[in-house]
Amino acid sequence: MARTETQRHGGRARKALWALVFLTACGGGEPRTEIAGAGDTLSLAEREKIAGSLVFSSKRDGNAELYRVRPTGAALQRMTNSPETDDFTGPLSPDGREMAGVWARRMSPKLRLSQLVVVPLAGGAAQPLGARGVRLRSPSWSRDGRWLVYESDSASFRDLYRVERGGATVRLTDNPEGNYSPEVSPDGAWVLFQSSRTRDGVQVFRMRADGSGQRRLTDVARDHWGARWSPDGRRIVFLSDRQGADRLWVMDADGGNQRRLTREDTLPGTIEAQPAWAPAGPERIAHVLRRSGEPTRIRIQQGGRVRQVPTGARGGDDTPVWSRDGRYLAFVSTRDGNAELYIARADGTRPTRLTRADGDDFDPVWVP
């Protein structure tokens, strides 16, 4: 869905005015900042070699529609044309041919109903799946692409459902307090989710793909959310305010060995959000850093080293999304006004503007 925080460059890429910041912890206090030097934007020659393209939602036409663009900013393609709905991106199917998305139709000034759909990237009609709901989000594919799980309020406050590609739907949870944000594990055996059922904060749970074996993984009476599987399914990154502010934590797939991932920010008014594992290469997690009175930033954690995507003088960056080979990062930025798409190298260097429109562009997804 759209987040409120958040053409191609003609000729030679202009000189960037920002520098990559390397952050290393100093004695448990504030990090020491080293300026690595200014860098250019990505050259056209480099961008032409980047595999795939980006599908994103855009309000350049008034309502949200789907568009597709190459990393060069060329071949901009409008994928949907449905003025009666807002069309939002979602995860790519395992075979890379389809995308699960959510279409939201305004039924009255006070009512909007959402529908889970599967969108063929090669063109054609979207396939609706499951019942409509006012709040429907977080679709996640099975490993073989034969079913999806998602969150919906179609029959309760918030619960989780599994829907087969043929349309058969099974309710996986049934708790009046709510269950949220499911994600299928890389091996397809488990579903990670969050729940308020214990009434001691939002907790991270997992269950088998059929809904059985539901088990709580976090046990601190605070809020935990944003949980994501690592690419190998052995670990989970999540957000927790157990130390008084939103911070990134990691744990084993069974809930063991919980530890805080980031240590460099201890200032009040600083929160972390939107963790995203790199799908390939060395283990890296991109996340958003929000600090009161400053532009929102994207940081990349790799071992004990933290890198920051250079920011503009105003606006902010969010929604980091890794390319399928883990070599590049797409994100949304308001540094030049509207929310637009940018790409950068995996280390955060050479941020380059990709779209230019009067309406906001948001929620990018890398596709083949």
User: CB-based contacts of 4: which residues, under 8 Å, 6+ apart?
Assistant: none
Q: Tens digit of pLDDT for each residue in 119-143?
A: 999 999 999 999 999 999 999 999 9
Side by side, the strands of the sheet bearing 32-40 are: 32-40, 15-24, 305-308, 297-302, 285-291, 270-277
Q: List the one residue out of 245, 247, 240 whose CA is nearest residue 268.
A: 245
265 in a structural domain: no
pLDDT (average), residues 242-268? 88
| pLDDT of 14 strictly over 50 | no
64 in a structural domain: yes
**291-295 contacts, C-beta under 8 A, 24 or more apart:** 291/265, 291/267, 293/269, 295/335
367 in a structural domain: yes
DSSP 8-state class, residue 153: -
Total domains in the chain come to: 1
235 in a structural domain: no
Q: Tens digit of pLDDT for each residue in 296-335?
A: 999 999 887 889 998 877 889 999 999 999 999 999 999 9
172 in a structural domain: no
Q: Tens digit of pLDDT for each residue in 37-80?
A: 345 799 999 999 999 999 999 999 899 999 999 999 988 999 99
User: CB-based contacts of 175: which residues, under 8 Å, 6+ apart?
Assistant: 159, 195, 196, 197
Which domain range does residue 49 map to? 17-80+270-368
238 in a structural domain: no
56 in a structural domain: yes
pTM above 0.75, yes or no: yes
135 in a structural domain: no
**265: confidence class by pLDDT, cuts 50, 70, 90:** low
